[in-house]
Amino acid sequence: MRAAAIFAAFFVLFTCASIAVPVPLFPGNMITTLFRIPVSGYTPYLEAVANGLLYAFITWLVFLLINRKMDKALSADSKDLSKKKREI
């Protein structure tokens, strides 16, 4: 559930930032040329959504990997504590 919230928050953040900042970012600036979409009024929004999806996915993936690593470390620590309690 936290991962979905992370994805949604960063999707909105990067999409709004791509609309607000008039600097072409990868991969949004390649969408129109790659799919041969004619340049029109909605092109910046299409590019912003593409940027939002890519960068939100990358952020979600980093969060997921860090979260799994922390869970493994915490479970290993709890196993060590339970072994020490049994020895006492």
pLDDT of 43? 84
pLDDT tier at 84, thresholds 50, 70, 90:
low
Task: Compute how many other C-beta atoms are within 10 angstroms of the C-beta atom of residue 2.
Answer: 9
pLDDT of res. 71 = 85
Whether the pLDDT of residue 10 is over 80: the answer is yes
DSSP string, 4-31: HHHHHHHHHHHHHHHHHS-S--TTHHHH
Q: What is the pLDDT of residues 28-83, one digit of tens each?
A: 778 888 888 787 888 888 889 999 999 999 999 999 999 988 888 877 766 665 66
